[in-house]
Amino acid sequence: MGERIRPTTLSDMRSAGSAGASDLVIAIDGPSGSGKSTAARAVAARLDLRYLDTGAMYRALTWWLLERGVDLTDTQWVADLAPELPLEMSLDPDTCSVCVDGRPVDLEIRQPVISAAVSEVATNLAVRAELVRRQQRIAEGGGIVLEGRDTTTVVVPDARVRVLLTANEQARLSRRALEVRGSDDTQAVDATRDEVLRRDRVDSTVAQFMEAPDGVFVVDTSALDAEQTADAVLELVARQTGVRA
């Protein structure tokens, strides 16, 4: 069935683009807890652009496969089913939502069980090819901010602005623990440690998001809050394109 983009969202966001930004493509990558999702949504909202969380697509596929009882280690079975994923995603940064076969799964795909399993799917090269194809189709025409792990290098390598967000290990673990477990105390951070570091280690075998290649700007968010991170990216956008929020 493939991805279904809500027509009202797509047309509304295209027509709402800031002057000079309607065809702009911004790619933001980074490891878990670097702040890329929050920053990307904020940048898209402030520039009136569409927003795509590419990582949510891998999470949605993982959830859908597990619901169907698929063995994620069976790489061929997973690859064969990936094109059938009935995925619908809102591209409005203010009302982000993910639906699979008509069911909202925003909460389900953020559960620890999915975080622990998603790398098995995300490192399947046939799956990556299928989802990158979908992501590139969505990005056609511009006016969009994409975030994930390989948007700057694979999905939209010709994006006018490409940014890698980084942060030290403690900052990343604290943020993810607070997001997933509602606390950044020692116990929550320890419970999150393997989930975050193992996934980054595994995913880095198929995507380059720990170090920036040529042409990709680096922003260290370790000491920045969400608003400061978004401001830093917007300043890069302004310097590179002349477009300001």
List, for residues 130-145, the tens digit of each pLDDT value: 999 999 999 998 999 9
Write the CATH number of the domain with boundaries 7-241.
3.40.50.300
pLDDT of residue 3: 39
pTM greater than 0.95: no
Give 10-residue mean pLDDT values along the chain (245 residues): 37 44 93 94 97 97 98 98 97 94 96 92 97 97 96 96 95 89 88 85 85 92 96 96 92
pLDDT of residue 74: 98
> What b-and-e string marks burial along 218-235, b requiring 16 or more CB atoms within 10 Å of the CB?
ebebeebeeeebbbbbbe
Domains in the chain: boundaries: 7-241
Q: DSSP character for 18?
A: P
pLDDT of residue 4: 40
**Contact (Cβ atoms closer than 8 angstroms) between residue 21 and residue 140:** no
